[in-house]
Amino acid sequence: MFNRPRLAASAAALAAGLTATTLPAQEFDVANMTDEQREAFGAEVRSYLLDNPQVIMEAVSALENQQAEAQAAADDELVAANADALFDDGYSYVGGNPDGDVTIVEFADYRCGYCRRAFPEVEELVESDGNIRIILKEFPILGEASMTSSRFALAVMMEAGDDAYKQAHDALMTLEGEPSEPVLRRLAETLELDADAVISRMSDEEITRRIQETRTLAQQMQINGTPSFVFGDQMLRGYVPLDGMRQVVEEIRSEG
């Protein structure tokens, strides 16, 4: 279906351009048109569009391209303005190649279907490339189960370090069912961790602070959905297939 606001804007721009090419400049003044002139003007535009319907799609496409370019430019500014919090907050997990020439930041929610879909593809991208640095941001936005999962992952990090966190992260991304306390206890034990210590740590104020700081960063970045990515200095809002991510990485390298 057409997006009606975009279509209306495109049609208006098209009508102005059409009129400018069909009427002398001194005759085209919409504000001072008589009713008869306005009716004739509308009929002329309508007739042209009926004879050339492809022009509407061309106008819509041009408008969408302009909007995409404007959004990309605005996103570049957001990444630059929040670079420290994105790439060096001091507590988010950093994996892949720490010295990689491309850095990817992912905002994810363990209960998000598209995050789960992206998970194996992001893993494949990082592992097969070998020169990517990946930063994971805990961004629980889909309810209590999401928050519980993020608190567990961060508690594991604080209790046992980054390697254990990554194992917990991977397990939570593929976990079936609800992250109840018995389930999380079994997961902690599977990871050979002190389950009591991890469960107790989940209520730590530091975990609350980290999650809130990530929420604040997401608001500043105008991120309101998951997954959301930063590839180098580019924002990718939403799920992107593996081939698309590889293409973005190649573009970043070619520009560098």
What structural domains and CATH numbers belong to the chain? Answer: 4-77 (no CATH), 83-255 (3.40.30.10)
pLDDT one-digit tens code per residue, 27-69: 556 677 788 888 887 788 888 777 787 877 777 777 667 666 6
Phi, then psi, of 214 in degrees rounded to 5: -70, -40
Which pLDDT score is estimated for 51? Answer: 78
Q: Give pairs for 239-242: CB < 8 Å, separation 24+.
A: 239/114, 239/117, 239/118, 240/118, 241/121, 242/121, 242/124, 242/125
Gap between the Cα atoms of 122 and 213, Å rounded: 24
pLDDT one-digit tens code per residue, 208-233: 999 999 999 999 999 999 999 999 99
Gap between the Cα atoms of 256 and 233, Å rounded: 11
Asked if 174 and 116 count as a contact pair (C-beta separation under 8 A), the reply is: yes
Gap between the Cα atoms of 149 and 140, Å rounded: 8
pLDDT one-digit tens code per residue, 132-169: 999 999 999 999 999 999 999 999 999 999 999 999 99
The edge-to-edge listing of strands for the beta sheet with 234-237 is: 93-96, 132-138, 102-108, 228-231, 234-237
